[in-house]
């Protein structure tokens, strides 16, 4: 009985696949992944000198992220109950993750001072990555599309530059400017080697900004490009079987992107914590 | 071979060859981390955080290859 039903279901699925394969496909459509990431101005505004004030997709996504973070903070702040509900429990878990797993595990001193910045970066990047996975009508001709503010190099570079500035501010304030710069190389090393290590460290300080920004940018860009390719290949193949398969695959990619969105926010925040913590407590 | 096909070929090769190192590195990193978590489950939290830092740093190498491929295709 059970076996017979399984056989019937299997036969139906096979028949469905064959019918899908035989169905004539629709019109062939041109499809360009690059268009998904082009930032055409949505609202034209005059430019002041070299600064173009036009509102494009990235700006709108930044506003949305800002709004969502503010609304979340407002609602969680208004009614903190002793017995947490579902929403409050989720927010408490994220807060504890930021406090214990990120700031608590990588910084020795200055946890209270730098927790707001690192948690702020964590929540901003996380919400921005997650907003990027909601289809919103800001693609060309106001059609639905995926885009994330963090899939733009300028946004991630600004965030990384904030971390860069705060790292050196923290180091200079905690150790004094001369001692901070001198401590970039270990004092116990022999003279020539010491200068070499100092130069290598100075170069690495610059490349931290590059790696921090490019990591987040390239991860989000690659994820969205793969999603776009999976959606767009259905148009190219003109075949319902391939379309069904690719749509199923895009669901799996989407779930993986949710994971990546979270992991990238975590890594951005934790590396900011490592850099700031390293400047605060220098190894002598 | 004209310039366009050389460019596209270079983009594909840069992505493919550039992924070998990070893939090996990530495999080693995660296997070692899982091994140490299995040995000492009581410090699994610390190991996991450090594992994610390592993943972030290792994975960046593959992403540089990705960015180079993008530059080769769309900018150069």
A270 and B63 within 8 Å at the Cβ level: the answer is no
Q: CA A189 to CA A62: how far, in whole Å?
A: 46
In the prediction, which pLDDT does B31 show?
A: 95
DSSP notation for A19-51: HHHHSPP-------HHHHH---EEE---EETTE
Share of chain A above pLDDT 70, in %: 96
In this prediction the ipTM stands at 0.81
Check residue A99 and report its DSSP letter: I
Share of chain A above pLDDT 90, in %: 29
Decide: helix, strand or coil at residue A55: strand
CA distance B1 to chain A (A): 25
CATH of domain B3-75: 1.20.20.10
Does residue A116 surpass a pLDDT of 70?
A: yes
The residue that leads in pLDDT, A35 or A111, is A111
pLDDT digit string, tens, across residues A52-66: 788 888 899 999 999
B49 and A101 within 8 Å at the Cβ level: the answer is yes
Q: Please name the residue that has the structure tokens 């972030």.
A: B56
Tokens representing B3 are: 């310039």
Q: Please name the residue that has the structure tokens 């629709």.
A: A26
Tokens representing A155 are: 């946004």
Residues of B in contact with A259 (CB under 8 A): none
In the prediction, which pLDDT does A29 show?
A: 65
Domain borders along chain B are: 3-75
Q: Report the residue of chain B nearest A222, measured CA to CA.
A: B66
Does residue A158 surpass a pLDDT of 90?
A: yes
pLDDT digit string, tens, across residues A60-85: 999 999 999 999 989 888 878 888 88
Nearest to A270 among B53, B66, B74 (CB): B53
């Amino acid at each position: 009985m059970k076996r017979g039903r399984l056989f019937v279901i299997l036969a139906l699925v096979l028949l469905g696949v064959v019918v899908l394969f035989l169905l004539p496909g629709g019109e062939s459509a041109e499809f360009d992944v690059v268009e998904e990431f082009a930032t055409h101005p949505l609202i034209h505004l005059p430019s002041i000198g070299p600064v173009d004030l036009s509102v494009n997709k990235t700006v709108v996504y930044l506003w949305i992220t800002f709004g969502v973070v503010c609304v979340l903070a407002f609602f969680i702040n208004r009614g903190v109950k002793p017995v947490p509900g579902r929403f409050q429990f989720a927010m408490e878990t994220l807060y504890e993750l930021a406090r214990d797993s990120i700031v608590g595990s990588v910084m020795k001193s200055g946890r209270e001072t730098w927790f707001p910045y690192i948690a702020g970066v964590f929540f901003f990047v996380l919400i921005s990555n997650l907003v990027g996975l909601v289809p919103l009508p800001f693609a060309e001709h106001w059609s639905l599309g995926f885009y994330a503010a963090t899939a733009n190099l300028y946004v991630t570079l600004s965030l990384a530059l904030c971390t860069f500035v705060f790292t050196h501010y923290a180091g200079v304030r905690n150790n004094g400017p001369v001692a901070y710069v001198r401590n970039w190389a270990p004092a116990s090393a022999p003279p020539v080697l010491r200068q070499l290590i100092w130069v290598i460290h100075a170069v690495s300080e610059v490349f931290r900004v590059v790696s921090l920004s490019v990591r987040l940018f390239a991860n989000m860009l690659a994820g969205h490009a793969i999603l776009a390719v999976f959606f767009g290949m259905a148009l190219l193949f003109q075949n319902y079987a391939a379309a069904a398969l690719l749509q199923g695959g895009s669901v799996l990619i989407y779930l993986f992107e949710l994971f990546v969105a979270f992991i990238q926010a975590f890594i951005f925040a934790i590396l900011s914590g490592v850099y700031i913590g390293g400047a605060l407590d220098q190894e002598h | 071979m004209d310039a366009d096909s050389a460019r596209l070929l270079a983009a594909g090769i840069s992505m493919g060859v550039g992924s070998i190192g990070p893939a090996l590195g990530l495999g080693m990193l995660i296997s070692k981390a899982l091994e140490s978590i299995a040995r000492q489950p009581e410090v699994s939290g610390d190991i996991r955080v450090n594992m994610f830092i390592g993943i972030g740093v290792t994975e960046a190498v593959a992403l540089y290859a990705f960015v180079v491929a993008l530059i080769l295709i769309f900018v150069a």
